[in-house]
Amino acid sequence: MGPMNHNRNFRIETIVIFISYLVGAMVFLSIVKDIGSLYSIVFCLLFAISLYFDYRRSFRIPRWLLTTLSLAIVILALYRLNMEELITQMMETLLTLLAIKLLEEKKVRDYLQIYAITLLLLSGSGLLSLNIAFFVFYLVIIFTLTIAAILRLLHSGQRPGPATGHDCQDSYKIPDYSHPRHTPNLCNVCHTPKNSIPVA
């Protein structure tokens, strides 16, 4: 990968990270009035720590530790479950899980999980207070998540193609003869016969 491609990927990754924090902050603002102050403080603290980690890019909390913490949060939520405050308690739990997810070193699946939790929180906000502010947050967050998904696709270096979502034509340019299934007529990624791929 050349310096220009590296710089381009770095810029896209930075934008995707920024968008992830932006939608996290927006969804927090949309539900802050409906959750307990303790959860708001915990989220803000973890949010600030994760921002610092992403800025410094020098230290990460082990993933297994964060996963264990997430499981403990879910177990605690089930233990204190109250049907009269079900939506509020679910939102508090999801907000804490979102903060923990932001702390992790983010891969594609982590971004998808962040976006999924964000949408669940936004849905919970709509159940508690369906008003103009909710629709504004909803439209802005959906638009922002769409941009993030497109940038995430660009950062992964993929373009829409056959079943796997890659470009088979590019895969033929650098044969991988070390792969046991490779022949010059097969795609290196999905092993689709070359003759079946239409040439643009």
For position 131, what pLDDT does the model report? Answer: 67
Q: What is the mean pLDDT of residues 56-81?
A: 87
Residue, of 66 and 108, whose pLDDT is higher: 66
Give per-residue pLDDT as tens, 152-182: 666 565 444 444 444 454 444 444 445 555 4
* Amino acid sitting at position 70: S
Mean pLDDT of the chain: 75
How far is 52 from 55, CA to CA, in rounded Å? 5
Distances (CA, A) of 26 to 74, 197, 198: 23, 43, 44
Q: What is the mean pLDDT of residues 13-38?
A: 87
Q: Which range is most confident: 35-39, 124-128, 157-161, 174-178?
A: 35-39
For position 167, what pLDDT does the model report? Answer: 47
- Residue 31: name the closest of 95, 113, 115, 102 by CA: 95
- Please determine, for residue 31, whether its predicted confidence score (pLDDT) is greater than 80: yes
Q: What is the mean pLDDT of residues 187-196?
A: 51
Q: What is the mean pLDDT of residues 116-145?
A: 78
Q: How many CB atoms lie within 10 A of CB 136?
A: 12
Residue, of 42 and 19, whose pLDDT is higher: 42
For the full predicted model, state whether its pTM sits above 0.85: no
Q: What is the mean pLDDT of residues 119-148?
A: 77
Give per-residue pLDDT as tens, 72-113: 999 998 888 888 888 889 999 999 999 999 998 888 788 888
Q: Which range is most confident: 6-10, 105-109, 110-114, 137-141?
A: 110-114
For position 186, what pLDDT does the model report? Answer: 54
Residue, of 123 and 4, whose pLDDT is higher: 123
